Amino acid sequence: MRDCRSTLDLRRSSKHLITALLVGTLSGATAAAQQTQTQSPPFEPQVGQAGKDVVWVPTDEKLVEKMLDIAKVTAQDFVMDLGSGDGRNVIGAAKRGAAAVGVEFNPQMVELSRANAKKAGVADRATFIEGDMYTADISKATALVLFLLPVNLEKLTPNFLNLKPGTRIVDNTFAIPGWEPDYTEKLESDCQTWCSALLWIVPAKVQGTWRLPDGEITFDQKFQMVTGSVKTGSGSAKIDSGKLNGEEITFAAGGSQYTGKVNGDRIEGTVKTGADMRQFTATRGK
């Protein structure tokens, strides 16, 4: 004879199991629906939103290209942007084949930049770091592409001057206080505000006295501009029209035109006096 109680217990257990499964499924679906409803919308930066050191205002895409043009960015460059925002300067450089890094304090901007780089197909060359632009290591940069205010640029100037001579710095609209740009270009059409690109080339450091075989050169340096004097056995003359373009230096003194290249503690070049041209070498005094 069949055990009716066992059959009844089995049916009750099956019913309870089915009920538990249904409740669990419904609870999971309800939780998922509630989570979807409460998720924050995707981050969208707002023009003028406050940041740690500056408000965010994007550079016009046409000016990004202009800045990259006058900085002569190529695939051989290592480009950096400080306060990189939505990543457009870095992405523009990466599209030209350069390795590029953006330093941005706002973590949401960093994530947005990474997503933008991925959409542009340059995520392998465009890197974004969450960090403080004032403490960022920029020593390996060959070009900086920026949109910063004068107060930011002034604070960063000592870091700029420690870059390798010849490094290019380009900024949207605002000048580095006290440092005349080497080149400026403005978009003349299809641009309403923030339309100028300013370029500086980091100069070699020549301040001080340099020994010549028959005398000495004394340089007084203010960024890329140099003054001073040249003393030789034939007399002393003030330096005129002295300028550095990265490692290249040119100046006039006593009717002669000097053109040379600074290589650490040594300058080698030529001196032209009238039709006569000769070589010269100067070494930094100790």
Give the bridge partners for 44, in sequence order: none
Specify which residues 270 forms β-bridges with. Answer: 259, 279
User: Nearest CA to 80 among 100, 64, 61?
Assistant: 100
Question: Where in the chain do CATH 2.40.128.20 domains reside?
Answer: 208-284
Which among 269, 244, 245 is positioned nearest to 257, based on CA atoms? 269
Q: Which of 281, 260, 270 is nearest to 210 (CA)?
A: 281
Q: What is the mean pLDDT of each run of 10 residues along the chain (286 residues)?
A: 43 46 46 54 70 80 97 98 97 98 96 98 98 97 98 98 98 98 92 92 98 96 98 94 98 97 98 96 92
Fold for domain 208-284?
Answer: Lipocalin (2.40.128)
Cα(107)–Cα(148) distance, rounded to whole angstroms?
Answer: 19
CATH classification of 61-201 is 3.40.50.300, yes or no? Answer: no
Q: How far apart are CA 148 and CA 55, in angstroms?
A: 10
Q: 185 near 70, Cβ under 8 Å? A: yes
C-alpha span between 267 and 206 (Å, rounded): 9
Burial bucket for residue 148 (CB in 10 Å: 0-12, 13-18, 19+): buried
In sequence order, the 6+-apart residues with CB closer than 8 A to the CB of 226 are 206, 219, 220, 239, 242, 243, 244, 249, 251
pTM for the whole structure: 0.83
How is residue 55 written in tokens?
Answer: 């408000």
List where CATH 3.40.50.150 sits in the chain: 61-201
List the helix and strand counts (H, then E) for the chain.
Answer: 5, 16
DSSP code for 239: -
Q: Helix (H, G, I), strand (E, B), or coil: what is residue 157?
A: helix
Picking from 90, 41, 44, 46, the residue whose alpha carbon sits closest to that of residue 68 is: 90
